[in-house]
Every structure is written in structure tokens, then in C-alpha cells.
Amino acid sequence: MGGMERTLALETTKKVGEKVILFGWVNSRRDHGKVVFIDLRDRSGLVQVVIRAFDRELHGEDVVRVEGKVAYRKKGNENPDLPTGSVEIVAEEIEVLAKSETPPFDVHSQGLDIEEALRLKYRYLDLRRPRLQRNLRVRSDYVQAAREYLFDQSFVEIETPLLTKSTPEGSRDFIVPSRIYPGKFYALPQAPQQYKQLLMTAGFERYFQVARALRDEDTRADRGFEHTQIDIEMSFVSPEDVMKTVEGMTLYALDKIGAKVAKKPFPVFTYKEVMKRFGSERFDLRSEKEKKDGVLSFAWVVEFPFFEKNKEGSWTFTHNPFSAPTDKAHEKLLLEKKRIGEIIASQYDLVCNGLEVAGGGIRSNKPEVLKSVFEVLGYEEEEIEEKFGHMVEAFRFGTPPHGGCAQGFERLLMAYLGEDYLREVQAFPMTGSGRTAVMDAPSEVSEKQLRELGIEVRKKRKKK
Amino acid sequence: MGGMERTLALETTKKVGEKVILFGWVNSRRDHGKVVFIDLRDRSGLVQVVIRAFDRELHGEDVVRVEGKVAYRKKGNENPDLPTGSVEIVAEEIEVLAKSETPPFDVHSQGLDIEEALRLKYRYLDLRRPRLQRNLRVRSDYVQAAREYLFDQSFVEIETPLLTKSTPEGSRDFIVPSRIYPGKFYALPQAPQQYKQLLMTAGFERYFQVARALRDEDTRADRGFEHTQIDIEMSFVSPEDVMKTVEGMTLYALDKIGAKVAKKPFPVFTYKEVMKRFGSERFDLRSEKEKKDGVLSFAWVVEFPFFEKNKEGSWTFTHNPFSAPTDKAHEKLLLEKKRIGEIIASQYDLVCNGLEVAGGGIRSNKPEVLKSVFEVLGYEEEEIEEKFGHMVEAFRFGTPPHGGCAQGFERLLMAYLGEDYLREVQAFPMTGSGRTAVMDAPSEVSEKQLRELGIEVRKKRKKK
């Protein structure tokens, strides 16, 4: 903002005796009569400011510009808990850049006891807490470190569309009405599954994307309408190649954010072993001591059944209809539709502290195998053609053997940061009841807009 | 895929005399009777393979695994146009991993003469052209370089929601029906404008995001339903601070992809000057020689009028309703609603080779200024409260002075890559008529799904 350069709070310890300008928020204020002390907060942290001679009408959370000199604090007044605790700024001029009313809740606490709806309505204040500042900064660091690792391994980051076609990822789609084709709808992606496979057909060989995925399913502690995944696909690879890449990326990125990992390399279990030993796919290998130490404990699970019976008694896929059977023998069973329940998919899941944090598999690249899967799932020939004809067709033009993985890194960060809820690692999460943070949505739209889209809101039936 | 390690085509020149395994596509095939030559293509490029003794039923675009020995080509047979032109692989074993039918069009040409709908239907083949492979790889490199620069400047990358509230960015929103609140709708973001400002209120000070933006407006050569922007916001800054950051990021990232830039630092013009000298905001400063050399030529434009009259004679904003007036004097005019047409916004646009490639401004952080803007735009008190009450309220809790910029880097890459259409730098763009690449969308959805969302498709009126 012109003139002398800004000094950050954390930099003041290196500028004792110098004149500095700081910008930030009034974190706290203590009036000692002749002098007022404030803790000034900026993105780097806190520093104490001493105010003597002038207007002192400051309130908590006011935004100020402080001009002054850095001095050592008097002996005995140092604060060993603060990185800048040995110094203070003797203010010569203070300008209030923006006043603050009293916030609706304390922004310095952990905030876990405040009602969710209130926290999210004022999310821009809620995010001032050190805990959430840290969570979002750690998240940013983790993802950038993962990117570094993948670029170093010759991956290309490619964006895939948000307005796309409904696919059977197993959850409900969000749909978007089309103005150009009134009465028709796009779907928002539940995952970039088909596009990333098509990028293998296109010859990119090593794709990744930090991809937004949307599912219209009721929210849970670790599941919202929107989540982000590090989405990976590779050509000419074995399951072990993909697992090694994901493991390497995860360890590299966790190291960058300072996380400790219990066992390296990650142990590998078959699904059968896991169910026998732990009775659940979401098992936690940590000892009590490891839990106390905040250590992350990973394990791979492999050799999942491809299909299982649903409540109605028909076959459904356990993970992904695009998976390949684990070997030629299982492929034969699938093509001949024999012993369906025994077919093993080339699928691998990564578990961390009892949370599923990644999953993937080697895909089928043969049109007849993909068709067989959909036949087992009970699709009619015509339906397969309509819904997956483009994939079956793509596989006829030289699609290499390929496989990939998607890492739900938000869950992984929950584990590392000791958070119980996905919303604690997202900037503007929705409420549990599906309302947006800060803004009042969903909301009504104009009749004109609905007419343009060729849709109308159903009239409510009167309750008897 | 197990066994010996894979060698990429480009690495073969360093392995003369060694046994290697390659994976890739049959790029071309020349049958010379006793021997067949194929050019094998992988992500690194091409290498010649000589096949003598065995099954040679290979077709273009088949996916193969080749085992053989690297040898120097005979004198006179070298191909100086190919980086691997001095060597060839004498095949000992070839395995066809996936057959290819004959593609519906040539995948080795530029492809510009092929009908758009056909190219996009088979986009996974279209993307095999060297031109598109390069475009997407350059795009990936540009964005990662921009990220590197911003992280180096202490920025934090923060994701903002896709399911959000309709905002007046000047274009038509895509809307998403809510299942939990039947008859109500979310909007997809036209830009993360409000969220990024709220992140400044939250104290992040330096935010960026590679953000998807969606607008339901008819497509043009350089505009689709979806585009991606490098979205930046900073606290405690002057316009020059933001411009310097964007300029620094752009030059750093362009240098990484090997682009040449005409004038550094970028020249700055006022809007008045530009209109007088060039008669258009989209001016091109390049000389004929610079055009031939493929040089990028940038210029900043500043001091735009805040408002202009629309066709109906009412005031509308020229760029962004959240902008701040350029100084105290203009702020006074706005608060008093005097000489509206003379109010200058603190807005800066970046032009490159006649394309608008970035735009931003210093925002208003005072509730009364923001309210004045919406009053000038003709909003009623109640409407302001309903639509922007949350922003006005946020500004009451210590929102620092802030400003930012959004770079439409896809257009910038169009300029650098010599492309006339946005779709040439996107992986799976829509057709001009709003249909998705490869997949058949928009499409009809089930009655059950519509009922759950509380909407129905309007019945078509019969044409007389």
C-alpha cells in the first residue's frame, strides 16, 4: 500500500531498533491505564504493540496499520510462548483501516462447541481460528507436495468437464438443466472415471487431476456433497506400479507437512485376511502408543470380490464396474458368467487409521469384458449401448492396459489433523442439512429462468 | 507390468547394443517384403522398430509391447527429423496388447479441417495428434509454474464450493436442483468472487485457486460454458502490488514453457488513452515482425469507468460491482450518487495480442460503499439485503483493504500456441451447440429423479 515496506509480525524479531510498518487485526487488547497493549495478528502470527500517546479507541478484530519501532521487551516481560515474545512494537502511529463489531462468537478458541449453523453462517470469522488457519494451510501444502511428486514422475495434470453425463458410480447425481436442450440435463461428475480412462486411450499414459467430485447423498461426518480427490491414471502398469506411485506420493507429501508414519512400506493384506482378522474393511493397526503419538498407520487391501448380491438378490459391483478381473482365469469366469461371486477384481484400497483414504484398480481395456460386467449387473444390450456405448467403442481403437487410483486426501488430512469432520478441512463446507456456508442457498429462482430451461417446480400436494 | 524395466522411445538412443522393452502405439507401418518397419509412438515420441521373423499382422494404432535390441541404423538410413533417428529397435518379440480398428479420421494431421462434432465424438482419438498432446502438456506446465511462483510468494491455495448461490457476475447461472429442498436451486459459480473476498475477511491475506467458472451463455471461439482461471486475492495491497504479482507470475510461467514476451515490464495505459489510440479495449501492440516471431505482447489497462448506461438507460457496472472507486474523491461521488458516469473504478485489465487475459481490481471493503453500488444499479433495499446482505455484514467485522485478479490463462495459451479456439487447449470441450465431448449429454433423466427434486419438464406447446 505504498511507502515503506510492510513487515510481518514474525519478522519483527530481526528488526530490533528499526522503524517498521505492520498491518493486521487487533487480536487482544489490555488497558493498563497509561499504556495499552495489543497483540497484533497477521498471517505470520502475533506481536505485541505498546500504545502510549494517542487515540486508543481500538476494539478486538479491528484492522489496523501500525507504524513504530521494534524494541526488546523489559527483562521479565518476555513471553516464551510466542515466537516474537522477546520484542514489542512501540507504536508511533496507528490507523484503523476497518472497524469490527463484536463477533458473534469467540474466534480464538477451538470453536468445536459452537453450533454448526452459526459457525458456517459466519464462516469468514470462524476461519480466523488458528486451528482452521492451520488446517487450510496444511491442506494447501499437502496438495502442492503431491503435485510436485507427480510432476517429477512425468505426470500431466489435465482438467475434465464438470458438465457431463450421468454415470453409474453408485451414488445419486446432481443434475443441471440445459437451456439449449430444454427438458434435458447434464450431470455433475461423481468422479472423472471415464474421462481419465479415455485419456489413456488418447495416449497421455500418466494423468492426474486434483478433481472435484459431487454426490447427492445424505452427508455424514466424513462425507459431503462435494469432495476433492487426487485422481491418477497410468498406462502399461501393474497394480504394484500404481500402488507404489500412490504410496510414494503420500509419503513425500506427508513428510513435507511434518506427519509421522508408522510402517513403511505400507503392509498389504488381502480382503479375506482383513475380514478374518479385523471383521471390517476399516481397520486400525495402531497400538495405543502410536495413537497417542499422532502417528498415521496405513495398509493396502487387495483381492476384493468383483460382485456382491444386493438386497434384491441381484449382482452389484463392490467398487467399480470398470475394473478388470485380477487375472486370465477370473476374466474367463466373467466372460462365461460362471461363479460370479468368486470373481476377484484387480482392486486396491488404502486405509489409514481406520479411514478409507484411497482406492483404485487396474481397468478392463477389452470391450467384451466391459460388456460382460454390465450384463452381470443386469443391463439390457440397448441400455449398455446407450449408457456405455462410447466406452465400449473407445476400447476398439487401441486402449492400452491401464489402471489408477483416487485419493480422498481430505480424509487423510482429517486423520493427521485429528479432526472428526470433513468440514474442518474445507473452507466453505455445507451444513449437514445441505445449506451453503455464509450464503443463503439453495434458493428459489425466477419463473423466467425456469421457463428458459423448460422445467417447472411441482406444485405441493395439500396435506390432508 | 513386471519383468525388465520399460524404456521410453526417446531413451533408446542412450541404450545402443542393449536389450529393451517398449510399450506404445503403431504410429505407422511400412512393409518392405522381407522386413516391416513400424514407427512406435509413446508419450516421449517415436522410434523405428524393424520386424523380420514373426507374425507381422500389425495395424496402425494397435497397442504393442516390443522386446528387442537397440542398434544404430545403417549409414544413409538415419532420419535427421527424428530425435531417435540414428537408431532402431531390432524386434525379437512383439505382443499386441490391444487391437485398433481404423480410426474415423487421421490422428497424425493437424485435424483443423475435420468437422467439430466428429472430432469431439472421438475426442480420445483426436487427442492423439501431436498438436493437442503438446497443447495439454504446455497447459499443465504453465499452471504448475504459476503455482510455484505463487507458493514462493506465500500464497495459500484454497478451494471454494461449486454448489453455491446465484450472484450477479453479469452472466446467466447454471442452476442445480436441490433434493433436500425440492423446488429450490443451487447455482454453479461464475467466479469465486465473493468467497475469495470472504477469505480476506478470514485473514488469509494471500489466496489463490485454479478455479473452474461456469456461465450459461452462448459459446464463442474464445468462450465456453466452462473455463478455468487462476484466481488471486490479496490483502493490504495497492493496484500496483496486485499487477506486479500477476505480471511476475505470468512472466515466470511463460518463461518455463519457452514463450517469448515483447515488452517487459508490461506497458500501462489508461482506458481513455486506449480508446483514443486504438478505439477498442482489445488492442494488439505487436509489429508485423513480432507477429511473425510468435512473440506475446502484453499491456495493462487501468482507470475504467465504474458504471455505464445499458440499453434501457439504467446504470450497470462495467466490470465488477465489488470494485472500489479509485480514490477518496470518487468514493465521495459514489456515496453521494453524483456524476455517476465519471466515477472511476480501481480496475485493471491485462491484454495480450488483442485478447483480454486477466482482470481484477481493488475491492470495496466498506459496507456503505458496497450498498451505494447496488443502489446505483437500481436494487431495492430489501433486494440488497437478500442478495448481498452476507457481504455487507462480513464487511462489518474487520475486512482488510484487499484486491485481486483472475487470469483466463486458457486464452493466454491460445495466443502462445497459435490456436483460434478455446477447445484446442481443453481436453474434453463441448461442441458449439452445448453437447459434451464423447458422451451423449445433456440427456433425459428419469421421472423418479425429477420427482425427488420437486421439478418437472414443461410440456411442449403444439405448434400451430
Q: Are residues A146 and A91 in the same domain?
A: no
Domain co-membership, B135 together with B48: no
CA dist list (Å): B323 to B265, B329, B386 = 25, 15, 20
A110 touches chain B (CB under 8 A): no
Smallest CA–CA distance, residue B262 to chain A, in Å, is: 28
Q: What is the pLDDT of residue A170?
A: 75
Q: Does A63 touch chain B (CB under 8 A)?
A: yes
Residues B169 and B243 in one domain: yes
CB contact, 8 Å: B441 with chain A? yes
Chain B residues inside the 8 Å CB shell of A366? 98
End-to-end CA distance of chain A: 65
Contact B436 A165 (CB under 8 A): yes
Give the separation between CA A69 and CA B255, rounded to whole angstroms: 41
A352-367 average pLDDT score: 95
CA torsion, ordered B416, B419, B423, B427, to nearest 10 deg? -60
pLDDT band at residue A464, thresholds of 50, 70 and 90?
very low
Within-domain flag for A48: yes
CA A418 to chain centroid, in Å, comes to: 15
Q: At B177, which helix (H) or strand (E)?
A: strand B175-177
* DSSP-H helix ranges across B305-403: 328-336, 367-376, 381-394
| Chain B residues with beta carbon closer than 8 angstroms to that of A205 | 42-43
A57 — pLDDT class (breaks 50, 70, 90)? confident
Query: In sequence order, which residues have a C-beta less than 8 Å from that of residue A311 and are 6 or more positions away?
Result: none
The predicted structure's pLDDT at residue B461 = 63
Q: Give yes or no for A277 touching B (CB within 8 A).
A: no
> Does B242 lie in the same domain as B162?
yes
Does residue B266 lie within any of the structural domains? yes
In a domain, A437, yes or no: no
Mean pLDDT of A170-190: 95
* pLDDT for the residue A168: 63
Contacts B184 to A, Cβ<8 Å: 441-444
Residues B159 and B71 grouped into a single domain: no
Q: Is residue B164 part of a domain?
A: yes
Residues 6+ apart with CB under 8 A from A361: A239, A319, A320, A323, A324, A345, A346, A347, A348, A403, A404
Q: Do B175 and A453 touch (CB under 8 A)?
A: yes
Please check the confidence at residue A55 and state whether its pLDDT lies above 80.
no
A432 part of a folded domain: no
Of B165, B176, B443, Cβ closest to residue A174: B176
Chain length of chain A:
464
Q: Does B436 touch chain A (CB under 8 A)?
A: yes
Q: Check: CB of residue B242 under 8 Å from CB of residue B208.
A: no
Residue in chain B nearest A147 by alpha carbon:
B144
Number of domains composing chain B? 2
pLDDT at B464: 45
Mean pLDDT in order along chain B per 10 residues (464 residues): 81 98 96 91 97 80 97 95 97 95 96 95 98 98 98 98 83 95 96 96 98 94 94 97 98 98 96 96 92 95 95 92 95 96 97 96 93 93 90 95 98 96 97 93 93 91 54
- Portion 369-398 of B in contact with A at CB < 8 A: 386, 390, 394-398
Q: Which residues of B touch A6 (CB under 8 A)?
A: 236
C-alpha dihedral, B248 to B253 to B254 to B258, nearest 10°:
140
Q: Are the beta carbons of A205 and B43 separated by less than 8 Å? A: yes
Nearest to B164 among A436, A444, A454 (CB): A436
**Measuring CA to CA, which residue among A15, A17, A40 is closest to residue A27?**
A40
Q: Are residues B227 and B158 in the same domain?
A: yes
Question: In sequence order, what are the residues at sequence separation of 6 or more whose Cβ sits closer than 8 angstroms to the Cβ of residue B240?
Answer: none
Which residues in chain B are closer than 8 Å to A253, comparing Cβ atoms?
Answer: none
Percent of chain A that is helix, strand, coil (3-state, to 5): 30, 30, 45
Cβ contact B300:B349 at 8 Å:
yes
Report if residue A324 sits inside a domain. yes
Please identify among residues 65-94 of chain A the ones whose CB lies closer than 8 Å to any CB of chain B.
65
Q: Which residues of B touch A149 (CB under 8 A)?
A: none
Tell me, yes or no, whether B225 and B360 share the same domain: yes
Whether B440 and A1 lie within 8 Å, measured CB to CB: no
Hey, are the CB atoms on B165 and A426 less than 8 Å from each other?
A: no
A455–B458 CB contact, under 8 Å? yes
- All residues of chain B having their beta carbon less than 8 Å from the beta carbon of residue A443 are 165-166, 184-185
User: Using CA atoms, how far apart are residues A126 and A119, in angstroms rounded to an integer?
Assistant: 6
A235 touches chain B (CB under 8 A): yes
Distance of CA B286 to the CA centre of its chain: 24
Evaluate the omega torsion of the peptide bond into residue A192 and state whether it is cis, within 30 degrees of 0. Answer: no
A4 reaches B (C-beta below 8 A): no
* CATH number of the CATH domain containing A14: 2.40.50.140
Q: Looking at the complex, does the CB of residue A119 fall below 8 Å from at least one CB of chain B?
A: no
| Residue B456, domain member (yes or no) | no
Strand-pair category, B175-177 with B185-187: antiparallel
pLDDT at A312 over 70: yes
Determine, for residues A458 and B455 on separate chains, whether the beta-carbon distance falls below 8 Å: yes
Domain for residue B457, yes or no? no
- Write down the pLDDT at residue B34: 86
Same domain, A85 and A128: no
Percent of chain A residues past pLDDT 70, beyond the cut: 97
- The verdict on a CB contact (< 8 Å) between B179 and A158 is no
Q: What is the interface size between A and B, counted as CB pairs within 8 Å?
A: 348
Q: pLDDT-derived band of residue A460, with 50, 70 and 90 as boundaries?
A: confident
Domain residue limits at B320? 121-425
Q: Show residues of chain B in contact with A174, CB under 8 Å.
A: 163, 176
Exposure letters B306-327 (e unless 16+ CB within 10 A, then b)? bbeeeeeeebbbebbbbbbbbe
- Residues of chain A contacting B454 with CB distance shorter than 8 Å: 457-458
The answer, yes or no, to whether the previous bond of A161 is cis (omega within 30 of 0) is no
> CATH number, domain at B324?
3.30.930.10
Contact call for residues A165 and B443 (beta carbons, < 8 A): yes
Are residues A137 and A68 part of one domain? Answer: no
**Residue A396 · residue A367 · CB < 8 Å:** yes
What is the H or E stretch that residue A273 is in? helix A271-278
Option in B205, B397, B426 nearest A100 (CB)? B397
Query: For the segment A377-391, what is each residue's pLDDT rounded down to a tens digit?
Result: 999 999 889 888 999
Residue A3 has pLDDT above 70, yes or no: no
Of A53-62, A64-73, A444-453, B229-238, give the lowest mean pLDDT range: A53-62
With 60 as the cut, is the pLDDT of residue A231 above it?
Answer: yes
Distance of alpha carbon A366 from alpha carbon A394, whole angstroms: 10
| B157 and B305 together in one domain | yes
Predicted pLDDT of residue B333? 97
Pair B57, B150 in one domain: no
Name the CA dihedral angle for B351, B356, B357, B360, rounded to a multiple of 10 degrees: 90
pLDDT at A66 over 50: yes
Q: Give yes or no for A237 touching B (CB within 8 A).
A: yes
Residue B15: closest CA among B84, B92, B91: B84
CB of B52 within 8 Å of a chain A CB? The answer is no
A355 and A266 inside one domain: yes
